[in-house]
Amino acid sequence: MEVNRVQAVASFSKNVDTIPSEFIRSEEEQPAITTLHGVVLEVPVIDLSHSDEEKLVKLIAEAAQNWGLFQVVNHGIPDEAISKLIEVGKEFFELPKEEKEVIAKTPESGIEGYGTSLQKEIDGKRGWVDHLFHKIWPPSVIDHKYWPKNPPSYREANEEYAKKVREVSDNLLKYLSLGVGLEGHEMKAAAGGDDLIYLMKINYYPPCPRPDLALGVVAHTDMSTITILVPNEVQGLQVFRDGYWYDVKYIPNALIIHIGDQIEILSNGKYKAVLHRTTVIKEKTRMSWPVFLEPPPEHEVGPISKLVNEENPSKYKTKKYKDYVYCKLNKLPQ
């Protein structure tokens, strides 16, 4: 089936001041109306090279409770590994359409592959974004047919990044575990342990003639445990806080960490998944590289038993991760 990619729509639209109606959000969503302008949110920035682990745990726990979002610096991923990840992803999206369509999603491929829509959209509206999904860890779930063959260095850059990002995620999950009074290994174990799936996504947001009317990705919380995101230099992330949408200021070379639904569930609500969305701009392409840490599909996720008692009864159902995903993507109650 021929799919109208946003990249193609953008190239048709660039010399006009309009966009197709399916991209125009309702007034309750339009960024020009709903953003608190002139205020940039400075979310917590945490230095992971901090020698005082107790202080680090406290900072991360506070950010996860009060914000659901934070940035980390001195995280141990070399700048070169991030630069290469960005470079090969950009090269893939600049290939001719026919080359990208070779790894397009199919009904059988599930989430993996090159695509445009992700979830059931209310009223048939579309986000101003194309994307590529593929799993980067563990080896047992990797299917290289969804990894671009071009550029030739794509695989090496992603394998190197996967190795480094696992070290960061292990530390973050340890600190989040300690931050709610558990032992360091317990949060990761409850989320799926060494079977946790690392799902890479590249978001490609082309220049948009009417950024005041469109959104890249609509307001959502991530389904993952945590999301570790690399942005390009173009700002665009917004967070909902105190009844308003705010722009988030990026720190160069930082990783942006989102608390996802599964950590909120495992912590029985002590940590909060962050409600966020992405905007687009007129002059430049915005891109981002989130890695979602997801439980295996058959793994059951619910509040960790040590965090449930008479004063803190269970706030969430325990269910298989695949069932959670199905409900969320199809806008069904959990």
Tens of pLDDT along 210-240? 999 999 999 999 999 999 999 988 989 999 9
Model pLDDT for residues 49-105, shown as the tens digit of each residue: 999 999 999 999 999 999 999 999 999 999 999 999 999 999 999 999 999 999 999
The pLDDT of residue 1? 41
What are the structure tokens assigned to 98, written together? 């026919």
If you average pLDDT over residues 298-321, what whole number do you get? 97
Once rounded to an integer, what is the mean pLDDT over residues 26-39? 92
Rg of the Cα atoms in the chain:
19
Closest of 202, 161, 138, 193 to residue 76, by C-alpha: 161
Task: Burial-class residue 248 by CB neighbours within 10 Å (0-12, 13-18, 19+).
Answer: buried
User: Is 299 part of the annotated catalytic residue set?
Assistant: no
Residue 1: inside a domain: no
Out of 185, 201, 284, 320, the active site residue is 201
From 90, 164, 185, 220, the catalytic residue = 220
Q: Would you say residue 119 lies in a domain?
A: yes
Task: Indicate whether 165 belongs to any domain.
Answer: yes
Give percent of the chain above pLDDT 90: 85
276 included as an active-site residue: yes
Q: Find the catalytic residue in 131, 134, 270, 276.
A: 276
Between 235 and 270, the more confident residue is 270
| Residue 323 located in a structural domain | yes
Would you state the pLDDT for residue 331? 85
CA distance linking residue 187 with residue 23, whole number of Å: 39
Task: Judge whether 144 counts as a catalytic residue.
Answer: no
Residue 247 among the catalytic residues: no
**E strand or H helix at 7:** helix 6-13
Domain membership flag for residue 69: yes
The CATH number of residue 252's host domain is 2.60.120.330
307 is a domain residue = yes
Instruction: Examine the pLDDT at 252 and tell me if it is beyond 90.
Output: no
Averaged pLDDT of the chain: 94
Out of 222, 247, 258, 299, the active site residue is 222
The answer to whether position 67 is within a domain reads yes
| pLDDT, tens only, 130-141 | 999 999 999 999
What gap in Å lies between CA 82 and CA 76, rounded to an integer? Answer: 11
Q: Which domain holds residue 197?
A: 6-330
**What per-residue confidence (pLDDT) applies to 286?**
95
What's the rounded Cα separation, in Å, for the pair 203 and 276?
15
Question: What confidence tier does 39 reach under pLDDT thresholds 50, 70, 90?
Answer: confident
Number of domains in the chain: 1
Task: Establish if 254 belongs to a structural domain.
Answer: yes
